[in-house]
């Protein structure tokens, strides 16, 4: 068990009132850490440090190449600590070691990507009438508040921190209180590479207290948030009072459309991966599978056969294919939705229960669950469950598939499986979603933008778009012939 601390102005700190909160291992319910229960005063201290560091120019004032060299050192350290970070991530979040290992490697790659991107040309000049020269430069936004959830404790942090720092901002970062362990290790790395004091600050504490202070404080110029849509809406409202720049990566209820002409085993395999990777606690999870009528029964039979075989267990068991749910509270939410589905009249084709046998009884495990006989208006079809629960729906033709696929408030991701490339692209172009796959599901890249349409968010993470979120754009007009304008009589 460890006693975590916050990182404010280059110092490791307890909460000013010494309060702490317990952090649990979701695989067995054991206490793994005490985390500071930060207060508004702590949040203000972090914001103050970030503001001073920003204004001093210690980070925004150095060259992009110098900042890039810090990011490269961070990436190297992440690689060097890969084994430890992987173990911590599995303990913190519950995900299998294999998944955690991917996240750690991706985190290092993300820092490397932004270390390269920030040194590339990024301005513009315009041919305007003589004697003027117009140009545009990109500048950091200032102090950025970064608030992340628990499903990818390390990777979600890095998706925000790497571009924010690359662009020259200073940050006030808040991990989810459910999973603060790996983020704390990341900040130890920042200290080891010698990031200047106050550039990267981490506060812990309740979202409604510390997170809300970050979203409302006038000295925070931008909020970048990943989490639930309800919280995202609250943050946007709060941030409006000080007109902060807002970037939101929120929930989803993403469709995975399987046409009868798809490669059958590939489609089943990716559909399983789409929903059960991360125990379904993935914003882009393919939680609604839409199958063409003529293939439906065969698809459901094979999907259920394979879902039943998924080996659920603790993340640190190398044979585990699906880990636990992140917390007791979230487990209750998922079980609530399973009961709700039954009450709504849907049929459980497999799963549907908490797993309490075989030494898993103290952890938060749920069976891979499939609902059939569902209707579009049901809440289990419309709402984000964020667990290993999928609904399998039927469609007649392309038009109906698109209508069902787009028929929720969300628009984060979507997949299409067909051997007809033209049809696949036609359907993808009609999907109101920001991330799509043809004959695949889930892979994403540091180079490509990540984010949603509709109520799945605003703005994009990753790629050039992800960097631009953390930049202001300044127009500069230079007079090459310095003489009075002569507009008014002399």
To the query of whether residue 188 is one of the catalytic residues in this protein, the response is no
400 is catalytic: no
Q: Is 96 in the site for ligand NDP (CB under 6 A)?
A: no
Give CA–CA dist 274/271, Å, rounded. Answer: 5
| 36, 142, 168, 207: which one binds ligand NDP (CB under 6 A) | 207
Residue among 231 and 320 whose Cβ is closer to ligand NDP: 231
Binding test (CB under 6 A) with ligand NDP, winner from 37, 106, 177, 367: 177
Residue number with CB closer to ligand NDP (267 or 334): 334
Q: Which is nearer to ligand NDP, 89 or 384 (CB)?
A: 384
- Min separation Cβ 87 and ligand NDP, Å: 22
- Please give the span between the terminal C-alpha atoms of the chain, in angstroms, as a whole number: 78
Question: From the CB of 325, what's the least distance to ligand NDP, in Å?
Answer: 10
Shortest spacing between CB 28 and ligand NDP, in angstroms: 20
Q: Using the rule CB under 6 A, give the single segment among 23-31, 105-113, 210-218, 465-473 that binds ligand NDP.
A: 210-218
Query: Does 15 contact ligand NDP by CB under 6 A?
Result: no
Crossing angle (nearest 10°) for helices 181-192 and 155-166:
30
d(CA 400, CA 324): 35
Catalytic residue (one of 37, 213, 249, 292): 249
Q: Which stretch binds ligand NDP (CB under 6 A): 72-80, 127-135, 224-232, 430-438?
A: 224-232
Residue number, 146 or 268, with CB nearest to ligand NDP: 146
Q: How far apart are CA 367 and CA 307, in angstroms?
A: 9
Tell me which of 20, 234, 406, 439 binds ligand NDP, using CB under 6 A: 234
Residue numbers 142-161 binding ligand NDP by CB under 6 A? 147-151
Catalytically annotated residue among 110, 144, 283, 350: 283
Contact 339, 389 (CB under 8 A): no
Residues 6 or more apart in contact with residue 166 via CB below 8 angstroms: 64, 67, 68, 71, 114, 115, 117, 118, 467, 470
Burial class (CB in 10 A: 0-12, 13-18, 19+), 264: middle
- Interface characters, 350-379, with ligand NDP (x: CB under 6 A): ------------------------------
Q: Which of 178, 200, 322, 405 binds ligand NDP (CB under 6 A)?
A: 178
Specify burial of residue 70 (Cβ count, 10 A radius: 0-12, 13-18, 19+): buried
> Does 235 contact ligand NDP by CB under 6 A?
yes
| 208 binds ligand NDP per the rule CB under 6 A | yes
Closest distance between ligand NDP and the C-beta of residue 39, in Å?
13
Q: Based on CB atoms, which residue is closest to ligand NDP, 64 or 206?
A: 206
Give the nearest distance from C-beta 335 to ligand NDP in angstroms: 13
The CB-of-379 to ligand NDP minimum distance in angstroms stands at 13
Q: Which of 35, 49, 141, 215 binds ligand NDP (CB under 6 A)?
A: 215
Task: State yes or no: residue 226 binds ligand NDP (CB under 6 A).
Answer: yes
Query: Rule CB under 6 A: which of 306-345 touch ligand NDP?
Result: 333
How far is the C-alpha of 180 from the C-alpha of 255, rounded, in Å? Answer: 31
- Smallest distance from the beta carbon of 72 to ligand NDP, in angstroms? 28
Using left for φ > 0, alpha for ψ between -120 and 50, and beta otherwise, residue 8 falls in: beta
Closest approach of ligand NDP to the CB of residue 230, in Å: 7
Which residue, 29 or 228, has its beta carbon nearer to ligand NDP? 228
Q: For residue 250, state whether it binds ligand NDP (rule: CB under 6 A).
A: yes
- Contact between 251 and ligand NDP by CB under 6 A: the answer reads yes
Q: Is 99 in the site for ligand NDP (CB under 6 A)?
A: no
User: Which residue number, 174 or 460, has a Cβ lying nearer to ligand NDP?
Assistant: 174
* Residue nearer to ligand NDP on the CB measure, 215 or 312: 215
Does 384 interact with ligand NDP (rule: CB under 6 A)? yes
Instruction: Point out which residues bind ligand NDP (CB under 6 A).
Output: 147-151, 174, 176-178, 206-208, 211-212, 215, 226-228, 231, 234-235, 250-251, 283, 333, 384, 386
Which residues form the catalytic set? 249, 283
């Amino acid at each position: 068990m460890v006693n975590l601390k916050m990182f404010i102005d280059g110092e490791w700190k307890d909460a000013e009132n010494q309060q702490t909160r317990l952090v649990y291992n979701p695989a067995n319910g054991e206490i793994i850490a005490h985390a500071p229960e930060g207060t508004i005063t702590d949040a203000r201290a972090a914001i103050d440090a970030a503001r001073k560091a920003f204004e001093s120019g210690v980070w925004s004032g150095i060259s992009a190449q110098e900042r890039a060299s810090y990011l490269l050192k961070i990436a190297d350290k992440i690689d060097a600590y890969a084994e430890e970070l992987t173990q911590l991530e599995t303990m913190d979040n519950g995900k299998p070691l294999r998944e955690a290992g991917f996240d750690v490697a991706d985190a290092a790659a993300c820092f490397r990507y932004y270390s390269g991107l920030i040194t590339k040309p990024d301005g513009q000049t315009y041919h305007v009438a003589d004697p003027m020269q117009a140009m545009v430069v990109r500048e950091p936004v200032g102090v950025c508040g970064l608030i992340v959830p628990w499903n990818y404790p390390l990777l979600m942090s890095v998706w925000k921190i790497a571009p924010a720092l690359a662009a020259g901002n200073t940050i006030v970062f808040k991990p989810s209180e459910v999973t603060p362990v790996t983020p704390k290790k990341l900040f130890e790395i920042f200290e080891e590479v010698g990031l200047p004091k106050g550039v990267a600050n981490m506060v812990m504490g309740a979202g409604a207290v510390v997170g809300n202070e970050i979203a409302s404080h006038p000295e925070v110029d931008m909020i970048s948030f990943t989490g639930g849509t309800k919280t995202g809406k609250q943050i946007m409202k709060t941030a409006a009072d000080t007109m902060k720049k807002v970037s939101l990566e929120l929930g989803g209820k993403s469709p995975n459309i399987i046409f009868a002409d798809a490669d059958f085993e590939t489609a089943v395999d990716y559909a399983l991966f789409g929903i059960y990777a991360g125990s379904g606690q993935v914003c882009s999870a393919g939680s609604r599978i839409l199958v063409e009528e003529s293939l439906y029964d065969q698809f459901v039979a094979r999907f259920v056969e394979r879902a039943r075989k998924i080996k659920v267990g603790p993340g640190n068991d190398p044979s585990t294919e699906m880990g636990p749910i992140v917390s007791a509270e979230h487990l209750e939410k998922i079980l609530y939705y399973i009961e709700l589905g039954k009450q709504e009249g849907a049929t459980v084709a497999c799963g549907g229960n908490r797993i309490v046998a075989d030494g898993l009884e103290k952890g938060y495990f749920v069976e891979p669950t499939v609902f059939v006989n569902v209707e579009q208006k049901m809440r289990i079809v419309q709402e984000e469950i964020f667990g290993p629960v999928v609904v399998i729906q039927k469609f007649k033709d392309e038009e109906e598939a698109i209508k069902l696929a787009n028929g929720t408030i969300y628009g984060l991701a979507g997949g299409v499986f067909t051997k007809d490339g033209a049809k696949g692209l036609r359907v993808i172009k009609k999907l109101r979603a920001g991330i799509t796959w043809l004959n695949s599901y889930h892979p994403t890249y540091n180079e490509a933008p990540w984010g949603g349409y509709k109520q799945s968010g605003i703005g994009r993470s990753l790629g050039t778009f992800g960097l631009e979120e953390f930049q202001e754009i300044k127009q500069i007009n230079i007079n090459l012939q310095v003489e009075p304008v002569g507009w008014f009589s002399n």
